[in-house]
Structures are given as C-alpha cells and as structure tokens.
Amino acid sequence: MKLPNVAYAILAAISLQGADMPVANAAAEAPFAEYNRQYGLSQIHALYPWGAGATGAGSIIAIIDTGVNLGHVDIAPQLTTGGYDFWDNDSVPQDRTSADISHGTAVAGIAAGARNDLGSVGVAYNAKILPIRYAGPDFETDPTKMAAAINYFAASAARIGNLSTQKNDFAIIRPAIQNVVAADKILVFAAGNFGWADPLYPAAYAQEMDYHGIIAGAIGPDGVITSFSNRAGIFPNSQFYVVAAGSQMYAPLNAGSKSFGFVKDGTSFAAPQVTGALALLLGAFPNLSSQDAVRIILTTADKTGIYADSSIYGQGLLDIQAAMAPAGELLLPTGTSAGSSSGASSSGGGGGSAGAGLVLIVAAGVGYALSSRKNTKLEKALVLDQYDRGYPIDLRKVIQVATSKPDLTSILESMRTKSGQLQTLLPGGQQLSLYYRLPETALLRQWNSLPQEFDPLSFDSNAKPTWAMSLSGDVLPSLNYQLQFNTNAHEQFSLMNNNSLGRVSFLSASTFNAPYLSFSDTTNSLRLGFTGLDKLDINWGLVQTQADNTYAADSASSILQGEYQATDRLRLGANLNILQENGSFLGGSRNGGLSADASTTTALGLSTRYRISDHFSLLGSYSRGYTRVNDAGNSIIHRFTPLQSRAYGLALFGHSIFRNNDNFGFALSRPMKVTRGTAMLSIPTAIDAHNQITRVDEAVNLAPAQSETDFEMFYNIKLGQKMELGAYFLYENNPYHTSTLQNRKTLYATLRRVF
C-alpha cells in the first residue's frame, strides 16, 4: 500500500533542534461554493487537509440515526453495502423523517456528503456511509433498537460511528457501548441540547470507553458555545469533549434527491464534523489505532482564548489541520515494521527507528555525497511521528556533516585559557597537572561572503569550567610517558608541537595531526615516547573517546609514530594508526539513520618538516586510510564496500617575524575525503494499515564528486602577559566536498585577555 498523498502536505514547518524540518507541505485548498455555504468548515480548518489530499477515502462512517435519504445526490454515491433498518426490521434504512427534521440525512451529509458543486459538502467527502436506522419518523427512539444499532456498528466494517441523540441512561445501552470498545471502534456522541452544565447520556458513556468515544458540543458562527448546547462539565466528561458548529447548519434535506437547506440547531450536527475529522485522519493514516485517533483529535483541539475554559469547551475547538500534522519527534524507521518509533531507538529488524530527532549525520569524509544526489528515493522517504503516522520528507535536507573543524561559534567557545592550573612534582620526577578552563573576555566579529553583513557572536561568561588532568614523567632515562584526561590527543602527536613553530592557530590543524587518530577534540590518552635511538624518536599511544550523547564519537585508537632527524633542517615522520569506532564510521553519527555497528580504519601517515630559517618552517603531511564497516541493524545504510580515504596539506609557519613572540602562518590543505567506496541505502517509502514498512534499495557512491580545498592565514601577537591580538582568514572551496554549497570566506579577529 502506498503512502497516502495527504502526507505530502501536513505541516508547514516543524522546529526540531533549532532548524525547520523540510516536511512536505501543500497550501490549503481554495474556497469553493459548497464550502462557502458552511461556515463551520472554516472554523475547523477543513481546507488544509483537503489541499493535502485528505478527503476521507478508505474510511467508512456508520450513521446511527433516522436513516438517510438513499436517493439524495449527496448521499447515494457515498453509500456502502450492509446498512440496516432496526425500526422497520429490513435492509432499507431510508430516512422517514419530514423535510424540516431530515435528521439522519443532514448528519450523513455534514459528515461525508459528496462534493458535486450542488449544495453542501461533507467534511470527509470521499468517505463511505453505512446507514443504520434505529429511530422513527418523528425521531422517536427505543432503547432496545438503539442498542441493536450500536451492536450492528460494532460488528460492521465501519471504524467510526456517529450517534447524534440525547436520552437518559438505559441499562441496555451500556453493554452495546462496551462492544464498541471491544471491537476497537470509535463512537462520536452529541452532547445534548438542554444547555446544561454536563453532557447527557449516551454521550456521558465516553468517559468509560478508554479513548474510543468523543463528545461534541455546538458553537455558532461567532465561535461561542450556543445557549442550547450542553457544556463539557467537570472531569472526566470534559476530557473527551470538543466543540464544532451546530447552529444555522446547511445540509442535505430529506425532501427529494437534490434538496438542501438549513436544519434545526443542535449538537446533533456538531457531532458529524468530529466524525468526518476522524474519517480524514484514519483515511490518511490507516495504521493509526482508534485510541490514538481519539487522542489526536482531543489533544490538537484549539485550547486558546475562550476555548481554554475546560468546563465549557472541554478540550477546545476541533482543528483538523492540527490533527493531521506530525506530533512529537520525527524518526526514521529502520526495521520492517513500525511500532516503536515513539520510544527509544532499537536495533534489529522489527520496529526499529533511528535517531534522537531527525538529524542524519554523515562523516566529513563523505561530505554531501548523499544530500547532493538527484532523482533519488531520499527525496520522498518516510518518517514516523510519535503515533507511527508516516510522512514523506526529503532526507537530503536533514543530512548534516560531522566535522572536527570548528565554526565561528565554536571558535569563540574555544577561547579559553588553562586557568587555576595546579602542578606538583611526585616521587620519581613525575609531574601532575590539574587544571580547568575558564572563559576569557573576547571580542569577535564575523565577516562572510554576503556584503556588509556583520554578525556579533556572544559568549556565555557563566560557562562552567572544564576540568582536565595530565600526568607525565620518565619511566626510564630514554622512555617517557604522558597520561591525559579530557584533553585533545591530536596535540600529543602533533607535528606542530615544536617550540620553534610558536603558537599555531589553524582551523584545519587536524589534517596535519594524525587525522585518523580521533574525530573528537576531547579524549583520554596515553603516550609513551622512546628517545634512545640516535636521530629517531618513537611514540606509541592509545586514545579513547567516550560518547556522551546520541551523536558523540565513541572510539578507541592506537598509533605508532616515528620521527627521524635526517639533517639539521629536515625532519621526516611516519605513523601507523588503527581506529576502532563504535556505532559510526569516519566520525559520522552514532546510533543514527546513517550509522554503522562498528568500523575499523587502518591509516598510514607521512610527514616532513623543513626549517627554512630560524624564523620559518615548512610542514607537509599526507595520510591515507582504509576502512571496513560493519552494518548496523538500526540504520538505513548497509552493505559497505571497503572505504579508501585521504587527507593532505602544506603549511608555512613564521615565528618572531616583526617582533618577539608574534606568529604567522598559512596553509593549503585537503581535509579527509573518501576516495573510493559504496554502500546500499534501504530507504523507507510507505507504511500500510498493518504497520508494515515498504523499503526501496538504492546503491550510493560514498566518494564525493568534488574535493574541498582550504586556504588559511593567521597572525597573532602577544600584548604583554595577559593579552593577545589575532587575525584569521579562511577560504573554503567546495566545502564538505560538494559544489552545491557556496564557497565560504571567513575573516575574524580576536582580542583575548586573561583574568
């Protein structure tokens, strides 16, 4: 079964994690003559679901009433087989009321009358009508016949029943109501027309029906509850009560095949609007449970203004537009069936769903290779709301790239100094450093490619300190160690960690510093350094990152690094790095829709550092990685081939050029990029009435077509002991390895002061 077209238009925008979600949206349908004759349709926002294609197709409504005008142009095309007349005990449930009553005919027309440009139109004008007659020509009723009619509905193919009557509590009715609940059907009741503070029976049974019943009160054209309508009353009746138009109602009449007109006021005619809304909802989302359908109608009703008074308006004014919109967090189904999307993500093939929020994070090396694809099923993939209702979405627009390269906001956040540092010498010459990072006063302005646009960035001076620790010393005369917690391991194995280079401030520094070591700048690490060989230094290290949220890195890495002093000016380096990631590959999301169970990357890095003079040094770096990925059950990406990737760069540094303690540098680099590798996307496209997910497989090349090239320059200088002035420029060509994004130019300046 294909996803109903209605889902393409349900919501204009969903705010999730600070960004509008690109859920497909269509404009409301334009008003037309039949619509304009019925003010109540505008009160409940019927044009919006109609514009989306929700018209009630697939739903059957049981009209439990005086019968219907079987030959009426608005009723006859809507009839389904199986109606029955319990008043006359035959299979012809013809409305026998007079034209001025026309009760069952009007109720049926308001709920599901045909759209034919003749008179009025039903809320669910493509739903089917099952007429069940239990009342006589003058709307006289018999409790036994009413109970029989309700039982007939409970056993029928209709999921929704409309009972617009007001009677006392009859003992014979309660078992019939219980049968409706047992059959998982929904019954909509009229609240009553005595202007009392509480609904009458059988409407009051709704409180006993475990979200299988709704009570409808009546408002007028002014939106205010009518004088005749029974109110919602106190809890629990008010919990199941909503209002809709119930006076001056234009509807089909029981006076010929093309008769229309105004019927007597009553809550009887508010109820079928609620019934029609349920038909729209269940027609669009046939997998929706009856209880959830009732909950949606009640929770999405307009509770603002006068409708906030629950003793009068209960849950508020019926709002079909809001009822059709996604509710809660949107999740991507990754299994073969729905059923768990409203809970925590689960692995396996049953009812899994991916992500804490619909954000698909891919590795920086993959870039926008997925989101830039054209003519792909990703454009209309299926996502589920908290009720497992399916909505199509362009997943390409929710793909984000995980990158360790900070943006300007994080640059400001990173402007911290190691303050309150405590250093102490331990026995054996070991050194322990405990420190925390506190915010500094900073002034920062951003300039981007848009002319004359300056964005001031604020900084939280009340940010909590970040604690870290370092323990270092010598194990043997030629063997030293360094143990660090909550620090950046890249700095321990950095080619830039040489005093002659001065203070290095490149955003692309990870390209030069063992880029496969970790995809996080907060790690726990151990380094052992061996300096016993002439001109050769060897480092071995272990690096561990601990995930602290859904998308954080979770990995363990080992590295063997050697540096050889070939000449007084030339130093050569090589490293072998093995990175094991849990739940991701190459720094992508963990436990997300584009995640993996695990991955292992073996990387080889080569580097050189050449001292041009006492003030300038040249640095080059090249790294290549080979990654094997294990599929994750709770993901839509599977069947990876081995991935190949690379990163390289060239940088020039200057120190004490214009004055002591100033630093200058520029770099040309290619950030890490997958150069070869494919995978298979298993894209959800539809959900049927039994919560079964239809999926389509699509092969994808994970190697981006473009390559990002970064050019950077920086200059910083100390102004005394506590201040530093810096200027930085970054140009990114084909950012994230795609030509679909605008090339980015970033210029910023900083003034730092340590307190």
Select from 324, 349, 364 the last residue of a domain: 324
3-state class (DSSP) for residue 162:
strand
State the total domains in the chain: 2
Select from 324, 349, 365 the last residue of a domain: 324
Question: Length of the chain, please?
Answer: 755
**The three-state (H, E, C) secondary structure of 71-94, written as one string:** CCCCCHHHECCCCEECCCCECCCE
In a domain, 373, yes or no: no
Residues 653/657/660/663 CA torsion (nearest 10 deg): -30
Interhelix angle 271-284/290-300, nearest 10 degrees:
120
Buried b vs exposed e over 484-516: b needs ≥16 C-beta within 10 Å? bebbbbbebbbbbeeeebbbbbbbbbbbbbbbb
Backbone angles phi, psi at 742, to 5 degrees: -70, 135
Residues 485, 489, 491, 494, CA torsion sign: positive
3-state class (DSSP) for residue 698:
strand
Name the residue among 267, 282, 86 with its Cα closest to residue 184. 282
What pLDDT score was predicted for residue 497? Answer: 56
In a domain, 357, yes or no: no
Which residue carries 């509480």 as its tokens? 198
CB 397 within 8 A of CB 383: no
Backbone angles phi, psi at 331, to 5 degrees: -130, 155
In a domain, 358, yes or no: no
Interhelix angle 103-112/271-284, nearest 10 degrees:
40
What pLDDT score was predicted for residue 339? Answer: 63
Q: Please give the distance of CA 362 from its chain centroid, rounded to a whole number.
A: 16
Provide the CATH number for the domain around residue 550: 2.40.160
3-state class (DSSP) for residue 196:
coil
Pair (156, 302) in one structural domain: yes
Joined together, the tokens standing for residue 216 give: 């409808």
Largest CA distance in the chain: 111
Buried b vs exposed e over 299-325: b needs ≥16 C-beta within 10 Å? ebbbbeeebeebebbbbbbbbbbbbbb
DSSP 491: G
* Integer Cα distance of 700 and 710 in angstroms: 26
Buried b vs exposed e over 148-172: b needs ≥16 C-beta within 10 Å? bbbbbbbebebbbbbbbbbeeebee
Residues 6+ apart with CB under 8 A from 397: 22, 371
End-to-end CA distance of the chain: 66
In a domain, 69, yes or no: yes
DSSP 641: P
Backbone angles phi, psi at 335, to 5 degrees: -100, -165
Pair (504, 643) in one structural domain: yes
* Integer Cα distance of 288 and 279 in angstroms: 11
CB 187 within 8 A of CB 161: yes
What pLDDT score was predicted for residue 488? Answer: 80
Select from 299, 324, 349 the last residue of a domain: 324
In a domain, 665, yes or no: yes
- Cα 351 to Cα 127, 335, 343, 402, 697, distances in angstroms: 30, 5, 10, 27, 18
Q: Please give the distance of CA 550 from its chain centroid, rounded to a whole number.
A: 14
In a domain, 615, yes or no: yes
In a domain, 165, yes or no: yes
What pLDDT score was predicted for residue 456? Answer: 38
Instruction: Give pLDDT < 70 ranges for the chain.
Output: 1-26, 168, 339-357, 403-421, 436-466, 495-509, 547-552, 753-755
Burial degree of 527 (CB within 10 A; 0-12, 13-18, 19+): buried
DSSP 223: S
pTM: 0.81
Residues 6+ apart with CB under 8 A from 36: none
In a domain, 301, yes or no: yes
DSSP 302: B
* Integer Cα distance of 617 and 665 in angstroms: 9
Per DSSP (E only), the strands in 677-743 are 678-687, 693-701, 709-718, 723-733
**The three-state (H, E, C) secondary structure of 5-45, written as one string:** HHHHHCCCCEEECCEEECECCCCCCCCCHHHHCCHHHHHCC
Pair (447, 319) in one structural domain: no
Provide the CATH number for the domain around residue 178: 3.40.50.200
Domain of 577 in residue numbering reads as 432-674+704-753
CA angle 88, 91, 96 (to 5 degrees): 50
